[in-house]
Amino acid sequence: MTKLLETAALEAALQEIADQRDWDQFHTPRNLILALTGEVGELAEIFQWLTDEQAEQIMQSDKAEHVRQEVSDVLLYLMRLVMVLGIDINAAVASKIALNAVKYPPTKS
């Protein structure tokens, strides 16, 4: 499978999937946020009740593929939400990193 590293390529692939299945009608901001929340819950469930040490080792366990799948689900729903809301995710992330650099200077760490 081809790696989707660029935002534009990821968005194009997600839009193609949505178009082929007529999913745009269901991909409202509310529905996407609810689906995203559900997927975050499924990811959290994998780690629920683990110690910090167990959580740190999870990618060397038989649960690694499950973690990859749930992380992917979270990212895909988040990207669909970004697309529906018309957010330039690269600009938003760059802006947030710059704001955090000011808000949390290294001298206060």
pLDDT in tens, 37-50: 999 999 999 999 99
The DSSP string of 44-60 is HHHHTT--HHHHHTGGG
Q: For residue 37, which of 68, 74, 82 has the smallest C-alpha distance? A: 74
pLDDT at 2 over 60: no
Q: Give residue 4's pLDDT.
A: 47
The two structure tokens encoding residue 81: 């939400």
Q: Is residue 1 part of a domain?
A: no
Residue 97 belongs to domain with CATH number: 1.10.287.1080
Residue 87 lies in a domain: yes
Range of the domain at 72: 24-108
Q: Evaluate whether residue 19 is within a structural domain.
A: no
Q: What is the pLDDT of residues 75-102, one digit of tens each?
A: 999 999 999 999 999 999 999 999 999 9
Considering its fold, how many domains does the chain have in total?
Answer: 1
d(CA 5, CA 89): 14
Q: To the nearest whole number, what is the mean pLDDT of the chain?
A: 94
* CB contact at 8 A, 6 and 79: no
